[in-house]
A and B are shown apart, each in its own frame.
Chain A
Amino acid sequence: MASITMDNLGKVYTGNVRAVSDVNIDIADGEMIVLVGPSGCGKSTLLRMVAGLETITEGTLKIGDRVVNQLEPADRDIAMVFQNYALYPHMTVFNNLAYGLKNRGFKKDEIDRRVREAATMLEIGKFLDRKPRQLSGGQRQRVAMGRALVREPAAFLFDEPLSNLDAKLRVQMRVEIRQLQKRLGTTSLYVTHDQLEALTMADRLVVLNGGRIEQIGTPMEVYLRPATTFVAGFIGSPAMNMLPTAYLRGLVAADALAHMPVAADLVGLRPEDLSLAPAGEGEIALTGQLMLLEPAGAESHLHLTFEGIKDTIVARLPHVPDVQEGSHLTFSIRRDKLHPFDQATGKRVA
């Protein structure tokens, strides 16, 4: 158990390629932090820097009270779960779990006890004598988890551990990992590109883009008040719609947008905040042409074009409406649901 402190962490590869810059995160003991961002945003690099698999070129990293910048991965008291599991193919499940303990000179009966305990916890007890290739993807995933568990480390590091599983298993493992982490209370750093995984699993999530932190916050903070247009577009599915403020001002009475800061020349609208109900008090009405109706069972996505707006606007309704593609529809949205941004800086205004 330990906290992890990243102080101005940065990574510059030889040839002056910058992967990560100015990362400051304080991870409390027992907290689950999810690093999320698109491919190439530096999230995996950052995780590997914490693990000790990449050198740290700037800043300091502390696990507990120790500065670990120069320590080998094995000496940092962390355990890592890899994307492709990285199980040792020639060893049985038991030996896969035991390998790290053996290398650390644990006694035989202690190793045995810990491995069986972890195996019971992960329900892989009956596979202990098998080789990894005799296991299904989900079972391998559990073994990889087990290898981290037996070590009882100060922190778990997860590098997109669920991305090789099918959708159903992914949801199941997501729940299990989160429950396990909560029960053990082990500090965890979890990397994913899946915003849903990020929202559901994190105590706090860190949105990264281009090697920089865009926003740190609880999932709901990030969802309800995205700090930048990037976060607004990345968190939430379908992505947030962006409209120029000028377009809205043209639609409504002058005082209707009085609460919007002057600097806000871009307005974000969550697809789920748009409704087909007639605009009432404190609401704005928007009319667009329906280009495509995507029914998705419990909900539906409506792709609309607004006159004079290049981008398609998406509305998400909690039902499938009986409307024709090509028809004009009027939506309403509450004024306080508008997200004001400054287009030039990409930052949220107020």
Chain B
Amino acid sequence: MVENNRWGNLFAHLVLILGVAIVIFPVYVAIIASTHPPGTFIRGVMPLLPGPNALENYKTVITQGRSQAGTPPIGGMLWNSFVMAMAITIGKLSISLLSAFAIVYFRFPFRIFFFWVIFLTLMLPVEVRIVPTFQVVADLGMLNSFAGLSIPLIASATATFLFRQFFMTVPEELMEAARVDGAGPMKFFKDILMPLSITNIAALFVIMFIYGWNQYLWPLLITTDPEYYTIVMGIQRMVTGGDSEPLWHLVMATVVLAALPPILVILFMQRLFVKGLTETEK
């Protein structure tokens, strides 16, 4: 280990501060830009202090959006994104918990084979299978619907794999004790396995929620009705929509609002996360 000397400390802090600054600066710029009147940004000189138009700008994006360019008010888009992200997250968690449970605790023919099939789908993210998936979703009439937005993204090899690894560390005696105590498989799953997995569930919830929230390509492809626009694709619409120049102050306000929910989810889940870590023990 490096000894505790002053210059070493100073240097370490410098590096850390620099790293944080690099990450924070663009966020800062976005927040500042969202408070300026239209046109400030386009002049080419970027102000570093907040401008006078914060309330007005946010009010505009929330109540009107950029209607003339076909972008609805962002409240609806935030809601759509939230519904999609939650559906993907909850769907992914339930399916992967159940499939990991099946793979670890039940003996059925081709168990290992199925595990590897699930594992192989890791190699097929949405982008790779996007054309056939679009075809399927279109044929099922799920374009412009929440089902179409979320269902194709639900299957998750990553979460299945992580839960499998976790379940395998749960002592087998717990399952046997539960059997002797008269708990059937689903009761064991609900009463014992789920509570023990709570920290894993919380961690994956955060990851999956952000994954769902950040989906861009898929919603862009399957939604043509502004009713179903999500916020991330809404940002894009805002930049490119219409013939006028991008209204950067509004775009930035939208960006700031779009970044809020994931941050809230992380803040909220982190508490559960830490609580879970300190209160359970195998």
Q: Which residues of A contact B (CB under 8 A)?
A: 51-53, 72-74, 78-80, 82-84, 86-90, 99-100, 103-104, 131-133, 147
Contact = CB atoms under 8 A, between A and B. Distances in A.
Contact of A89 (B178, B180, B181, B196): B196
A100 B176 contact: no
Contacts of A53: 176, 179-180
B192 A88 contact: yes
A82 B177 contact: yes
A103 B196 CA distance: 19
B182 A74 contact: yes
B191 A89 contact: no
A80 B192 contact: no
Contacts, number: 65
A99 B181 CA distance: 7
Nearest to A144: B177
Contact of B180 (A87, A90, A100): A100
Given A74-B182, A99-B181, A100-B182, A90 B195 contact: yes
B112 to A, nearest CB: 15
Residue picked from B177, B180, B191, most chain A C-beta under 10 Å:
B180
B174 A79 contact: no
A100 B187 CA distance: 12
Contacts of B178: 88, 99
Contacts of A104: 182
Given A90-B192, A100-B181, 20 more contacts: A51-B176, A73-B176, A73-B179, A73-B180, A78-B180, A79-B180, A80-B176, A80-B177, A80-B180, A82-B173, A82-B176, A86-B171, A86-B176, A87-B177, A90-B196, A99-B183, A100-B182, A103-B183, A132-B281, A147-B177
Contact of A51 (B180, B195, B279): B180
A53 B196 CA distance: 22
B64 interface: no
B179 A74 contact: yes
A88 B182 contact: no
B272 to A, nearest CB: 14
A224 B183 CA distance: 45
Contacts of A131: 279, 281
Interface in B186-205: 187, 191-192, 195-196
B43 interface: no
A263 to B, nearest CB: 46
7 contacts: A51-B176, A53-B176, A73-B176, A89-B196, A89-B280, A90-B280, A100-B180
Interface string B189-230: 001100110000000000000000000000000000000000
Contacts of B280: 89-90
A87 B173 CA distance: 9
A79 B173 CA distance: 13
Would you list the 7 A-B pairs with minimal beta carbon distance, nearest first?
A100-B181, A86-B173, A74-B182, A103-B182, A86-B177, A133-B281, A90-B195
A51 B177 CA distance: 10
A252 B233 CA distance: 103
Interface in B134-192: 171, 173-174, 176-183, 187, 191-192
B160 to A, nearest CB: 23
A104 B182 CA distance: 7
B179 A88 contact: no
